[in-house]
Amino acid sequence: MSHAALEALEVARAFEPNVVLTDINLGATSGLELCPLLHEQWPDLPVVVITAFGTMETATLAMRAGAYDFITKPFDLDALALAISRAFRHHQLQSEVKRLRAAVGQAGWAHDLVGTSIPMLELRALLERISQADTTVLVTGETGTGKERVARVLHQHGKRRNGPFVAVNCSALPEAVLESELFGQVRDACTGARQAPRGSFLKAQGGTLFLDEIGAMPPDLQAKLASALEARRVRALGADSETAFDTRIIAATNRDLDRAVREGRFREDLYYRLNVLHVALPPLRSRGGDAIALAQYFLEQFARQSERPVRGISGAAARRIAAYPWPGNVRELRNSIERAVALTRFDQIAADDLPEQIKNFEPQHVLVAGDALEEMVPLEEVERRYTLRVLQAAGGNKSLAAQRLGVSRRTLDRKLGEYGVE
């Protein structure tokens, strides 16, 4: 190793740079020889190489040596500044991915609820407090936010963890089949039907019954469910007597049950029996850097399952993942990463491996005020726009939006009424 290379390594150790800028000609040492020496100790350190030979062969050699970018002489200072800026952003993203990856690995309680954002920290704290309770829980949130995952976490960390976890999707079955699935049905002596007499309430005896998409339950079944929760007893179809059950009920919906109750589409008595403890799940777009942490989590999961040597996310892909609003939430992210792991030809997911709507997404920002005085708006208008922006980011969840705004739900409802917003 030459004196110049040793000196460069010593400087790097002393200053811990975010970006290294090196000429390809370092006297006895080539800048291309310095790249692997730097990467041996700092694998994520981007190196920008300056060369007087702007050929494709030189560029290929630089990239093979581990250079992040290269720039040819004579160069424009703006071009150099842009190359350094890109390298710096790349280093920041890689550092953030490593930090989030470490946080995911070190998470204690409910470690499979990935994320270090404030909404996720608050969610974990709430789940930890209510996991030991045996009361009914209503989980609300947009499609794909992980409502069943939360229900399973509550079961796994609760008093009934050694009992069964039974999940029933109330929107996936016809009314007659759903009634039989929930409450059971005795064997029909005339038809010889072989349906099991025990419904899900009794199958989950001593454990947890998860009622997904409860907002889609037909009205007649809502009445029967409300009676069962009140009496803690169920009557199977065709049975002459009732049977007591000892089951914790967790229900979930992506619908606004408050509004459904007001409009007469959901029974008020059932709503209050379900909504003893309420868990509102934040949409992914309101969780900051959690999208990157989740992407890395899913990447490792799918790379392990498919035995593919994919270990990370490129800077360009990470920027697009962070910018995209994820209308399908965690489910959409999971499917996108599974696809990217299957498609990528490298050891990192590239931007081109992502679905079209993600890699081509252009973020839109709400402009509150310009620089010119005539463009500026009254304070009341600033408040209105910001309130609606927070409500949009919360996916229309008024409780979550009110919490972020630091006002009560009643105050938010009043303001929305003043704005003419339903």
Mean pLDDT highest for which of 17-21, 186-190, 370-374?
17-21
**Per-residue pLDDT at 112 exceeds 70:** no
**Secondary structure string (H, E, C) spanning the chain:** CCHHHHHHHHHHHHHCCCCEEEECEECCEEHHHHHHHHHHHCCCCCEEEEECCCCHHHHHHHHHCCCCEEEECCCCHHHHHHHHHHHHHHHHHHHHHHHHHHHHHHCCCCCCCCCCCHHHHHHHHHHHHHCCCCCCEEEECCCCCCHHHHHHHHHHCCCCCCCCEEEEECCCCCHHHHHHHHHCECCCCCCCCCCCCCCHHHHCCCCEEEEECHHHCCHHHHHHHHHHHHHCEECCECCCCCEECCCEEEEEECCCHHHHHHCCCCCHHHHHHHCCEEEECCCHHHCCCHHHHHHHHHHHHHHHHHCCCCCEECHHHHHHHHHCCCCCHHHHHHHHHHHHHHHCCCCEECHHHCCHHHHCCCCCCCCCCCCCHHHCCCHHHHHHHHHHHHHHHCCCCHHHHHHHHCCCHHHHHHHHHHHCCC
Mean pLDDT confidence for 112-140: 89
Mean pLDDT confidence for 217-231: 95
pLDDT level of residue 319 (50, 70, 90 thresholds): confident
What per-residue confidence (pLDDT) applies to 78?
A: 79
What per-residue confidence (pLDDT) applies to 101?
A: 54
**Per-residue pLDDT at 398 exceeds 80:** yes
Kindly report, residue by residue over 33-67, the tens digit of the pLDDT: 777 788 777 877 888 888 775 555 666 666 666 77
- What percent of the chain has pLDDT above 70? 83
**Per-residue pLDDT at 369 exceeds 50:** no
What per-residue confidence (pLDDT) applies to 368?
A: 47
Mean pLDDT confidence for 319-348: 93
Mean pLDDT confidence for 269-279: 96
**Per-residue pLDDT at 107 exceeds 50:** no
